Chains A and B, each alone.
Chain A
Amino acid sequence: MKPMHEETATFATAAPMTPIFCRVLKTRPETHDTFTMEFEPPEGAHAFAFAPGQFNMLYAFGVGEVPISISGDPDDPQTLIHTIREVGAVTHALRAMKSGDLAGVRGPFGTSWPIEEAAGRDVVIVAGGIGLAPLRPAIYSILSHRENYGRVVLLYGTRNPDDILFRKELEGWRARLDLSVHVTVDRALETWRGSVGVVTTIIPRARFENSNALVMICGPEAMMRFTILELQNRGVGLDQIYVSAERNMKCAIGLCGHCQMGSEFICKDGPVFRFDRVQRFLEIREI
């Protein structure tokens, strides 16, 4: 598989602090507080090349800028897709945008999921809540080159069934014979027939080879911490685990220090890290 970093580097570094104008194609709701936006490529460009796990800075003019992971298909970069949770002024402004409105986009930035390193191995993807969005490009990429991997397992946890992202897509993935999908919710409604319990409780049920699996995790830090403990109980090594870290990113190019975590800048050295590289920092509450 061709690494995307070289292609994306020019776009990201040519004028990394200057947003380009992108027109909103459409916005659709995913859950009560989450929505997906599609953008046209900027004028003069025909595609947004990116690697799974990378993010863009999205700018709602006059309001502010936020880092948002790309949730689209890296093999289909004609449309830029972001799935966003509405939690503050900027994401509120983004949600209010209509088709044809202009937003600013800087990126793509950061490191990517280890798709190439996963070749030949079992792949375990563990997502919590909105954490499925940054992992979706990795899932697309793995599924479009499915023959390169061993067992592929997706473990997804949310608060309740209404919070499940990409529901139709999940149903499609679940129907595949070459992908094992486990979805669980913390709180079930009476009509829910699926699994109930936090995502860590479904790890023992998943079938994969502990010694050769490569694990990608994205979700709230507490969820990732307990997930890693459960994986360790199974015998998965810390060097087999990758996480997507989150801190307050501003410049996105490792200059401002807002997202600094110990010696690492989440925006430039991350957001995807091999866990053993950042474990010590995640244990320090002050950072």
Chain B
Amino acid sequence: METLRPILAEHPFFKDLDPRHLDLVIGCASNVRFDADEFIFRQGEEADQFYLIREGMVALEIFVAGRGPVKVQTMGEGEVLGWSWLVPPYRWMFDAHATELTRAIALDGKCLRNKSEQDHDLGYQLLKRFATVVQGNLDAARLQILNIYEAHA
């Protein structure tokens, strides 16, 4: 687990995190790998982890009857995948599958929730960081809806 310390410490998501809190996070972290086309999670399943993608690409999809899976977003190196572990009812809203060989660090959501209940400073730090991730995704989703490339005479 100790080998994850430098990776997590250098990751932008955990930038400037107090070393004491980093220790708590490391205790909930593990290295994971997904082959191309392997599902990372599926809609409706319990959301018990989030991922820091180190390499590869992940597609977030929603299944549409009669059309099949529709890709709504892809994520790559350095990005943070999943926040449903943070919000009740802790269920994934989308499918996520690796579109190519993907390596990531998985962080156990239950483990972090429990530690955050005991140490609210850690909880605040995590929420603050996730607020930025959520805001970025929300901005991007709004731009997607806007159809900014539409032609105007």
**A-side interface residues toward B, CB under 8 Å?**
33, 85-88, 128-130, 157-159, 163, 184, 186-188, 190, 192-198, 200-202, 204-205, 219-220, 222-223, 226
Contact = CB atoms under 8 A, between A and B. Distances in A.
30 contacts: A85-B151, A87-B152, A87-B153, A128-B148, A128-B149, A129-B149, A159-B147, A159-B149, A163-B149, A186-B144, A186-B149, A187-B144, A188-B71, A194-B74, A195-B57, A195-B76, A196-B71, A196-B74, A197-B73, A200-B139, A200-B143, A205-B78, A205-B79, A219-B149, A220-B148, A220-B149, A222-B143, A223-B148, A226-B139, A226-B143
B127 interface: no
Max count, chain B CB within 10 A of own CB: residue among A184, A195, A201, A219: A201
Contacts of A201: 73, 136, 140
A226 B144 CA distance: 12
Contacts of B59: 196
Nearest to A195: B74
A84 B57 CA distance: 34
Given A33-B151, A196-B74, A198-B143, 9 more contacts: A87-B153, A186-B147, A190-B68, A190-B70, A193-B99, A195-B57, A196-B59, A220-B148, A222-B146
A197 B153 contact: no
A205 B73 CA distance: 14
Nearest to B67: A190
Contacts of B79: 204-205
Nearest to A229: B139
Contacts of B146: 222
B83 to A, nearest CB: 16
B153 A88 contact: yes
A125 to B, nearest CB: 17
B143 A223 contact: yes
A-B pairs, top 8 by smallest CB distance, nearest first, are A129-B149, A88-B153, A188-B71, A198-B143, A220-B148, A87-B151, A159-B149, A196-B71
B134 to A, nearest CB: 14
Interface in B73-120: 73-74, 76-79, 99
Contacts of A157: 149
Contacts of A88: 153
B44 interface: no
